[in-house]
Amino acid sequence: MASAARSASRLLRSAPASFRPAARSARFALPAQGVRVAARRGYASEAGPEKSSGGSGAIWGIGLAAAGGAGLYFYLNGESTPKGPFVPTQEDYQKVYDEIAKLLAAETDYDDGSYGPVLVRLAWHASGTYDKETGTGGSNGATMRFAPESDHGANAGLKIAREFLEPVKAKFPWITYSDLWTMGGACAIQELGGPQIPWRPGRQDKDVAACTPDGRLPDAAQGQRHIRDIFSRMGFDDREMVALIGAHALGRAHTDRSGFDGPWQFSPTSFNNEFFRLLVEEKWNKKKWNGPVQFTDKSTSTLMMLPADMALVNDRAFKKHVERYAKDNDAFFKEFSDVFVKLLELGVPFQTEDRFVFKTSE
């Protein structure tokens, strides 16, 4: 299905900006068998070759932390419990990835037919709380399991993604929530036709005391100054900021969460550079409605852009990257992959330098 998703992306990139879908059901959802899908809503309020390794001594510490759940894992799977601490190998992590991919393909009752976008949003928001000055926040901890962090406005609706991954956690109890959530985001991007996302284990779950304060995630109603304040706190430059916001290729906004409404592109379950192409080529007008300020495309009035999205073309330094990604999907994929990996790893005290590149589903 990966090749089908990428074929869909190429078709979208060749379609004129004035393309008008016939109806909502056909407008936003590619056939489930045509793209790796299975949905829960996905709105982000603001989304060289790597070495891979099996179970080396470098990740021994990870195995010690996972040992408690490992016994249950082997018992439930009818396997004899090995002697000594359980040290997950790349093959073990591939099985977790495969389980997430299987659920994405099987469960298509969410939004536009895939839970993938909301898994990306979960990974993004779990990681995007990092503060380079204090070393707090980030994906290491999975503190969104607890209030008040789970109740922060920017995290509205992410309970859906967390619950979606619970059956995977139950089947593989040795993996931490911190690793599971980030792997879920990497899996969703790959399964929806996006670039490979090299991933490495080593995150440890923390308790409620490690919850981050509200206000660390991007506010979609703000402009370029806010974008730079939020992203520079994590250590990103202008190019990386624009690439990360390209995750808006997936999913849609929801009035019951952010207050905004609608998808960014015509196929919100296909990862591609359409978000950037539409930003550049389409004319965007302020939407006339009773909700917060957002913009709608002149051609069909079915798509939307947020004030923070429009800031990318209103700022000269940001716009040059938008234009580059709009013209070159390969460049976007490469640079998005690099910076998304960086996002997922912020503040994590890894015990290994090796990353895994997971095989996508067929």
H or E element that contains 13: helix 2-14
Instruction: Report the distance separating Cα 184 and Cα 69, nearest Å.
Output: 19
Write down the catalytic residue from 125, 152, 248, 321: 125
Q: What are phi and psi of 65, to 5 degrees?
A: -70, -30
Of 279, 311, 280, nearest to 293 (Cα)? 311
CB contact at 8 A, 76 and 152 = no
Instruction: Report the distance separating Cα 102 and Cα 114, nearest Å.
Output: 12
Output the CA angle 172-178-179, nearest 5 degrees. Answer: 55
CB contact at 8 A, 86 and 128 = no
Count CB-CB contacts under 10 A for residue 230: 20
Q: 191 — alpha (psi -120 to 50), left (phi > 0) or beta?
A: alpha
Q: How many residues does the chain have?
A: 362
Question: Is 289 among the catalytic positions?
Answer: no
Write down the catalytic residue from 124, 174, 181, 264: 264
Instruction: Report the distance separating Cα 190 and Cα 87, nearest Å.
Output: 26
Long-range contacts of 233-238 (CB under 8 A, 24+ apart): 233/130, 233/131, 233/132, 233/133, 234/128, 234/130, 234/131, 234/132, 234/343, 234/346, 235/130, 235/132, 235/346, 236/339, 236/342, 238/317, 238/318, 238/321
CA torsion sign for 43, 244, 162, 151 is negative
Q: What are phi and psi of 89, to 5 degrees?
A: -105, 175
Half-sphere exposure of 106 (CA within 13 A, CB side): 7
Q: Which amino acid, one-letter code, is at 37?
A: V
Question: Is 264 among the catalytic positions?
Answer: yes
Cα dihedral value 308, 39, 9, 33, nearest 10: -170
Residues taking part in catalysis: 125, 264
